[in-house]
Every structure is written in structure tokens, then in C-alpha cells.
Chains A and B, each alone.
Chain A
Amino acid sequence: MINGLISGQILEATYLSLRRLAFGFVISITLGLLMGYLIARYKWVDDTLGFLVTALQSIPSIVWLPLAILWFKLGEAPILFIVTIGATWTMTVTSSTGFKNINPLFLRVARTMGSSGFHLMRTVILPASVPHLISGLRVAWAFAWRALMAGELVGGTGGLGHLLEMGRSLQSMDLVLAIMIIIGVVGTIIDNQVFNRMEKSVQKKWGVSARI
């Protein structure tokens, strides 16, 4: 593991994986928020798209890989697609629940103050649903991370998953274990440093930290 770290092979792979993850994650958050908003806003979208999303959510994202390779050819694109698909549905579901659960009083207050449209979205709808959104982000991130590993393992060029596959074919279990450890460590670090902190700061600001 240390040799690997020093030779830069693992670091490079980690970097590559994280970059893919970040890309896919950003796309899926945008898509998820957008669809979540539409679902929360319009009843007919909820009845149609909402149902579809729940159905799609139950399909593991790696299942899309054959199709993705067919569509985008081998390379970066299918993996990005897998990551995006993996996180989008959960993000959609949690953001739509978040939007639906906004205290209507906040909306009324904002409307009487003259807010509407995009301004209302930016200043009230998004911040008011932040507690929901954060838990959504957290789950979406876990889904994306898994999808990424699976995608790289099967159809990858570069990245941690690909390195893992290489370790398997070279019968070098030290490499395999090292990568597993790294996957776990990266996952924990991001969860702890990013999402936990976000959650803490929101809880502090809102004054809601229930202990059961």
C-alpha cells in the first residue's frame, strides 16, 4: 500500500475516481433538485414522473452499464452516466419530500413581502428544505460512490475500481486490500468532513438537535 502510494499509482487512481464522482454528483444534484421541484410544484408531474422515479429508483444503477456502453461507447461517459443515474433518483425523491414539507407559513410570509419565482426559490424554498436536502445529499453521495466503484470495476478505464480489477487479475491481494481500505477511508472522510459538518451547522443555526 505504501509502495503504491509512493509510486503514485493509487493516488492517481483516487484522483481520477474522485473527479468522476464530483462531476456525476453535481449533475445528479442539479437534475434531482429540478425534478424534485417539478414534482412538488405540479400535481400531474407528481402522478407521472414521481411514479416513474420510484420505479427507476429500485433499479441498481450498475444495471444500466450495458446500455450506457452501447450509447456512449467505452470510456468516461458511461461511468459518468452510471454515477449520475445512481444518485439522481434518491436526490429527486428526497428533494421533492423536502419541498413538500416546507412550512406553508414561510411561503405566505415571503409572498406577502413580494417574493416570487426564482427569488422565492433561492431565498425560501431551498433554505427551508435544507435539513431534508442534506440527508438526501448524504444518501445520494453513498449511492454515487458505490455506483462509481461498480462502474469502474466493470467498464472502467483508470480509477480505483479499475485498479482493483487489475489487482485481481495480477493476483496481488495487497493491492486489492489497499484499494478497499482507501475506498472505505475516502467514503468516511467525505461523510464526516462534508456532510456531518453541514448537518451540524444547520442544526446549530436552526436550533434543532433532538436527542432521542
Chain B
Amino acid sequence: MQVVLQNVNKRFQRDGSQPLTVLQDINLNIERGEFISLLGPSGCGKSTILNIVAGLETASDGIVTVNGQPIKGPGTDRIVVFQESGLFPWMNVLDNVTYGLLLKGMSKKEAHEKAMEGLRMVHLTRFAKSFPHELSGGMKQRVAIARAFVMDPEILLMDEPFAALDEQTRMVLHEELQTIWQKTGKTIIFITHNIREAVMLSTRIILMGTRPGIIKKEFTVEAARPRDLSDSVLRHLEARLLQGLEQEMEKVLKEEMGDDYSYKKGAVLSDPMHNLGSDI
């Protein structure tokens, strides 16, 4: 086991009211080389899990280990790709990619070569001297991915990396990520709220429930690569995931709108002219 989360809880202290539980009893084992997706509605704490593994946040209780060592803080063995690219606007693309490499103590020349290699991987060598604001959203995200990959981390943490992109760019990046993952064999923890994305990419999908964040179900994706969404196995899985997510969504919405609320319109006859006697 490379990453182990054992009975992890996370609570946020709020002023004047009882603490908000974000994660409850999370148990998760991640093997080396796995592509694992955390799937869940917004607010289910999936990003919190990722931040805990990255060392940017600490768990309220429970044990989190990477390679058997408890996590003490951020480290270069775990690199994060965030939802926004987070490229430094004061550096050009190349400097952005070499930033972490130079920090690791690599010589300038070596870092430069490695960075170009990374940029080649995402097809952006032509833009090495450009500044981030000159790139499109998708290109920025690709640079961010290159920046993470050149660091050669054991574990790559991706926090909804493609959420802000358009459909076409996302499809291209899916392909690229898959190829890169197959080539390098890294462990990837991938966070998404997009079912299709999870199904297409991962070896294992963790469906999370919300309020408080729990692990609801685990699915292993047993389909050949390259994957095709019309594959019946994936179709079936997608439907089951959707069902699970809908239940969660309904829970959230009921909390907001009251118990009368039904996520599926038409599941219950809700024509106000033909009420079922709820006003007796």
C-alpha cells in the first residue's frame, strides 16, 4: 500500500456553533500505479482528502501515511495539479516548469532540458518563452500538468484539473493524461465530479457521499484501454454511478428545500391541482 488513510476525520471549527464535520471515517488504501478517482457532489470533502494527502491540510484525527511514513507537510513526492493552473504570471512558461526542478537542486541546464521534455509531452514547446496570460485556459492547464510531471513525483494529485475547460480540450487532455500515465506508471489520485471522466480514466472509482463526507461505494473499472464509452461495461458502470450520485444530490437538495422535494420530477405526481392529500 502506498497511500493509506485510516479512520480519517476532518472537522472545521466554526465560530459560535458546533464544528462542521467534513470527513467522517475515511478508510482508503491506494496501491502503487493506481489511477484512482474520487467522485462525488460538490461539498463532499473530496478536495479535502486530496489536500490532506498533499500535506496542505491536516486531518483532525486518524492516520495518513505515504509509503509507511506519516505525512508531515507538503513534499516533492506528492505534486498537485489544481483546478486552476496556478502558473506564476511573473515567469514565462519555461521558468514556471523549471521552478520546482531548480528547487530540487538540479543544475540550470539539466532543469531546462527536463522542462522542455515535459513541454514536449503536452505539445507546448513553441510557447516556452510565452507568459501565462498569452496562453488559453487549456494550454495553461497543460503547462501545469507538465510542471507537475517533470517533478517526477511518486504520486500525482489532481484536483478537478479539467473542470474549467471546454469539452474538446478536455477530451484531448484525457487522451494525453492516459498515455502519460501508461508510460510512466505513476500513482494518480484524481478528483472529479464528472462521471464520464472518472469512468474513462480510472482503474478504481470511489463514490463519495455528502454531509458528512463518507466513502459510499467503491467500483473497480475492468475495461480494456483505450476505453470507449459505448463499451457495455462502462455504460453499466456509468448508470450505477449516476444513480449513486443522484441519491446524494437528492439528500443535499432535500436539506435545502424541505422533505417534499423530489429530485426526479415526475417520480411522484406533483401537480398541485391533483395533490395526493398532503393538505389534509
Q: A106-B86, A205-B89 are in contact. List 19 more A-B contacts (CB 8 A).
A: A105-B82, A105-B86, A106-B88, A108-B56, A108-B82, A109-B88, A111-B56, A112-B76, A112-B80, A113-B103, A113-B151, A114-B75, A114-B104, A128-B88, A128-B90, A206-B89, A206-B90, A206-B133, A207-B131
Complex contact A207–B133 (CB within 8 A): yes
Complex Cα spacing A130 to B88, Å = 12
Binding site for A on B (CB under 8 A): 54-56, 73-76, 78-80, 82, 84, 86, 88-91, 99-100, 103-104, 131-134, 151
Q: Which residues of B contact A119 (CB under 8 A)?
A: 103
Q: Residue on A with the closest CB to B100?
A: A113
Q: CB of A124 within 8 A of chain B?
A: yes
Q: What A residues does B103 contact at CB under 8 A?
A: 113-115, 119
Name 20 A/B residue pairs within 8 A (Cβ), A-sorted.
Answer: A103-B86, A105-B84, A106-B88, A108-B80, A109-B88, A112-B54, A112-B55, A112-B75, A112-B79, A113-B79, A113-B103, A113-B151, A114-B75, A114-B100, A115-B103, A127-B88, A128-B88, A205-B90, A206-B89, A207-B89
Judged by DSSP, the binding face of B is loop
Residues of A within 8 A of B75 (CB): 112, 114
Residue of A nearest to B80 (CB): A112
Whole-angstrom CA separation of A128 from B88 in the bound complex: 8
Closest to B104 in A: A114
Contact of B82 among A109, A115, A128, A205 (CB under 8 A): A109
- For the complex, is A192 an interface residue (Cβ under 8 Å from B)? no
- Tell me whether A208 is interfacial, beta carbon within 8 Å: yes
- Per DSSP, chain A at the interface is helix
Q: Are A111 and B74 touching (Cβ within 8 A)?
A: yes
Question: Shortest CB–CB separation between residue A59 and chain B, in angstroms?
Answer: 35
Q: Is the CB of A113 within 8 A of B76?
A: yes
Give the shortest distance, in Å, between B191 (CB) and chain A (any CB).
Answer: 15
Closest to A123 in B: B99
Residues in A neighbouring B76, C-beta threshold 8 A: 112-114
Asked whether, in the complex, the Cβ of B134 is within 8 Å of the Cβ of A207, the reply is yes
- Interchain CA distance A207-B131 in the complex, whole Å: 8
When C-beta atoms are compared, the residue in chain A nearest to B84 turns out to be A105
Question: Closest CB-CB distance, A170 to chain B, in whole Å?
Answer: 52
**What are the residues of chain B within 8 A of A108 when measuring CB–CB?**
56, 80, 82, 86
Residues of B with C-beta under 8 A to A206 = 89-90, 131, 133
Residues 112-145 of chain A: 1 if any B CB is under 8 Å from the residue's CB, otherwise 0?
1111000100011001101000000000000000
Chain B residues with CB below 8 A from A111, complex form? 56, 73-74
Cα distance, A114 to B100, chains bound together (Å) = 7
Chain A residues near B133: list those with CB within 8 A. Answer: 206-208
Q: How far is the CB of B229 from chain A (nearest CB, A)?
A: 32
